[in-house]
Amino acid sequence: MPIDFANELNPSQLEAVMHQGSPALVIAGAGSGKTRTIVYRLARLVQDGVPPENILLLTFTRKAAQEMLLRAGSILGRNLSGTSGGTFHSFAYGVLRRNGRTLGFETGFTLMDRADSENVVKEVKDNLKLGKGDRSYPKKNTLLDMITKSRNKERSIDAIVESEAYHLSAYAEDFQSIAGEYTRFKQSHALMDYDDLLFRFEELLRSDPSLLEELRARYQHIMVDEYQDTNKVQARLVRLLSGESGDVVAVGDDAQSIYAFRGADVANILDFPKIFKDAKLIRLERNYRSTQAILNLTNHILAGAHTKFDKTLVSDRDTGRLPRIVHPLSDQTQAKQVVEEVIKLAKKYPLHDIAVLFRAGYQSYPLEVALSRVGIRYQKYGGLRFHEAAHIKDVLAYLRLTHNPADMVAWRRVFAPIKGIGPKTADRIAKARLTADGKYIAKAMKRFPALRELFDHLDGLRNCSRPGQALERINMFYQPILAELYPDDYPKRQTGLDQLSQIATNYTSIDDFLADLTLDGDQEEEKRKEHALVLSTVHSSKGLEWSAVLIIDLVEDRFPSKRALARPEDMDEERRLLYVACTRAKDSLTMFVPATIFNRFNAVSEPATPSPFIAELPGDCAEMWRETYASGLRQETQHAGTHASGVNGNALPAEPSDTLSPGPATGTPKLGICRHKIFGQGKIIAQIPPNKYRVNFPGFGLKVIVADYLELL
């Protein structure tokens, strides 16, 4: 019996499913039934007589392709065997295996996995005699990361190092040498890595016109899922395979393009109508996940983007309760407020149906401690759990020895950075220290001179009664060790240590501090998944949903990240990240904007600027709550947004001169780049009427400048 598509789909989905005769771009808003649309289009093509072998379905995971083909087959009541469905890489691999001779692979080639590639990079580095004797030399996985990022983003390695790994700039020339030799090694040994599959496939298609025509003749109907996540070469492959006017349907959402760090290029989806002539643009705007109140807020967030496809998500559900924007007094009290909110929500939803989202993995550390203290189980996606991170374990080992000098595990950890001391030697030295074996200790210090400094440091720690005081001394001692042990990413790890110091300021007892950090225990992973709160970075949350979502640290330098403040395109991606975070919520959305952020370097809390994405929200899309000095929450009479949120998260006086104006979407002068005589070029973040701007100057940070002293570029 033929499928009644009109009865199964909403009008926009039906338009996408039935479209034919020209390329089409389906902009599928969050929760709008993207997968359902692709599945029914597959079914419609086959029902209309298209042989399955003439269909090519490209996705980003093999599992996604298999599920779509199975669902389409179930709808049709027949198997879709013969359909080519899978990832870009798997499709490229199949074609390259059959046609490798064209590229000089006379007897075929071997595909390397990640571990193989890392080992080859190490061999190449060793053959070039680079990094010999340098303990801080980047590890093989970092070397491969630099090469892979350079290829996928199609930027020079110098540019990648400058923008993403400046602390490794001393090795930039080495990276280039290794990359060149790595390429030669692969070619001479008939090897390919995953990146090669795409670039060599493109090379094959361009060098063999007859093969290209053969593929175009076979795959007359092409569908691409998650088009916003394609990189430059993947977009070129789609164009090559389909031609400029072929039957290609790309499905995705520019507002969910959040993987630029992997090489994804949002321009691919934004420029689709320019690249494919006469392309039909279809918008899926009916959302089946969230309440309308949540969508009203996300629509406002998207409105401020500089480059986007206009769309307005409309819910298929009731309006629901307004989202809440909570202003804790500080990032230190934020964890307490989140825990209290989770406890309330847990009366209505199971724990695994509640999620706390954050921009970076380290931001959940204070919350992890607070959750452990009250016995709430959690599972974390994106970034290591706090107590599992190696550098956190390193620092805590020093602290543990002030509490328990017989802690052999801690002794091994603090001895490990000293060259020549392995576990057995570490045990002997520790035992000699505990048994007052001065003779052995003297002998060991002569053999390992660094021991004296370590012992002096540990002795000094015994005079510290508070964990915060002890951690200050530990951080000073550990700083050069951190850079040596983890040369590839020590700036990122330092941020985690800063969070540890911040947490410690809430404790007066080292014993209590250590206990709270280790009370989590070892529950079984399966039980965690069923009965545990979800903590997740926003990137790891994409594609998931929960009844209740809480988002933390919505202040400048944290969300958006500090690095994003300088470039409009990076700010747009941060905006999309927040949109993704908010649209994970089905029923309840709570956003936390701490008024102050603790600065461990001067041991004080400093005023924080609310995220510009929060500051620009109109007053009617969310409730605003503030933490009182009595530790409770009080609802403000005005709603959250530009009319009720001050620069530091405090209630504003009536004068309009202190009100942060919204971005270009709400009618103020367009924000952009400016120049200052002293600070140089900067990015205007917000206008402060009547005549001031908040500007981010690279190297100087955020400044409020009178307009007369700025040259607008």
Residues that constitute the known binding site for ATP? 28-35
> Using CA of residue 112, residue 85, residue 229, residue 240, what is the dihedral sign?
positive
**Burial (Cβ within 10 Å: 0-12, 13-18, ≥19) of residue 653:** exposed
Amino acid at the residue 563: R
Label each residue of 543-567 as H, E or C: CCCEEEEEECCCECEECCEHHHHHC
Per the DSSP assignment, residues forming a β-bridge with 248 are: 222
Alpha helical stretches, state H, 190-266: 194-207, 209-218, 232-242
**Burial (Cβ within 10 Å: 0-12, 13-18, ≥19) of residue 654:** exposed
Virtual torsion, Cα 413, 419, 422, 428, nearest 10 deg: -90
Give the H or E element holding residue 380.
strand 378-381
Q: Which of 476, 538, 511, 516 is nearest to 366 (CA)?
A: 516
Burial profile 294-310: b = 16 or more Cβ within 10 angstroms, e = fewer: bbbbbbbbbbbbeebbe
Number of CB atoms found within 10 A of residue 437's CB: 15
Task: Detail the DSSP E strand segments found in 613-709.
Answer: 623-627, 633-635, 673-676, 680-688, 692-697, 701-706
627 CA to centre of own chain? 29
Amino acid at the residue 538: V
Tokens of 208: 């063999």
273 CA to centre of own chain? 28
* Strand, coil or helix: 260: helix
Q: Which of 521, 547, 536 is nearest to 380 (CA)?
A: 536
Q: Which residues are annotated as a binding site?
A: 28-35
